Structure 1
Amino acid sequence: MPYYLLTVTASRRTNLGLQVQPTVRIRELASRVKDTDVPMPGERALLRRPDTGTWWIAPLASFGLEAWQKDGNFYTRSDPADPEFTLALGGKGDPEEVLPVGTEIWMADKTRTSAQRTEGWRRIIAGIASGDWYQAAPDSVDTTITDR
């Protein structure tokens, strides 16, 4: 059974694909999704367009923490105690046409590849919360997506 991930409020083209807003609070998602259902690059996202109500399929390009390393420390825009992941989808085209505001993004929960790679939500959350992570200023420019 697919599970709801987010409703698009904005999207933009990046070197990783179509980056989607809003971010996803990992603790909230983990509270309603099985521990083995961590979305991984290459899996398929289900998109429900608001204008037609039709479903589209898009490949997941990235789902991770916007983070970077500087001077031996790890920085993120989100709160390390309540991390938020950013989603990017593969595909071509204008972001507003491919992912109009109001598009619902759902993930299928049939694949078990994630548990082997990440060991689930609990490990992701614990790793970020217990590490040497610092919350960066909102206007910081160094950013990459780190899949965890």
Structure 2
Amino acid sequence: MPHYLLTVTASRRTNVGLQVEPTVRIKEFASRVKDTDVPLPGDRLLLLRPDTKTWWIAPLASFGLEAWQKDGLVHTRSDPADPEFTLALGGRGRPEETLPVGTEIWLADKAPTGGHRTDGWRRIIAGIASGEWYQGDPDAVDTSVVDR
């Protein structure tokens, strides 16, 4: 059964792919899916477009904590106690191409990578919680998506 990720409120092209908003609260998402179902780059995403009511398939390019380094510290716009991941779709497209607002994004249940990580969600959430993360203003520095 596919797992619901988010409903698009905005999207923009980046060097990683087509980055979408909103972010995904990881603890909430992890509570709904098996620990082995950690989305990995290359997994298939199902997109239900609101304008055509049709399903599209897109590859996952990135799904991770948006973070950057400044003065030797790692900063994130997310709350380290309740981390949120940013999702980016892969595939080629023109810089002006975006997804329609209202597009639903689902993780296919038969993803090719199959979430091959031992203790996936537990390890990821524990790693973020134990790290030295600081909330920061992403507009003050260049940001990039960092998978943890």
Contact conserved, 1:17 with 1:61, CA < 8 A, in 2? yes
Partners of 2:45 and 2:140 lie apart in 1 by: 29
- 1:36-115 alignment to 2 at 5 Å? 36-91=36-91, 92-93=93-94, 94-96=96-98, 99-111=99-111, 113-115=114-116
The one-letter code matched in structure 2 to 1:55 is: W
- 2:28 corresponds in structure 1 to 28
Identity value in percent = 77
Cα distance, 1:138 vs. partner?
A: 4.9
Looking at structure 2, the residues matched to 131 and 85 of structure 1 have their Cα atoms a distance apart, in angstroms, of 16
**What residue is the counterpart of 1:121 in the other structure?**
121
Rounded to whole Å, the distance in 1 between the matches of 2:127 and 2:86 is: 17
Is the 8 Å Cα contact of residues 26 and 83 (structure 1) preserved in structure 2? yes
CA drift of 1:63 comes to: 0.4
Structure 2 unaligned runs (5+)? Answer: none
- Further displaced range: 125-134 or 66-75: 66-75
1: CA distance, partners of 2:89 / 2:122: 24
Q: Which has the higher helix share?
A: 1
Contact 2:76 2:138 in 1 (8 A): no
Is the CA contact 1:35–1:115 (under 8 Å) kept in the aligned structure 2?
A: no
Deviating 4+ runs (over 4 angstroms): none
After TM superposition, the structure 1 stretch with the greater mean CA deviation from structure 2, 63-72 or 14-23, is 63-72
Q: How many residues align?
A: 145
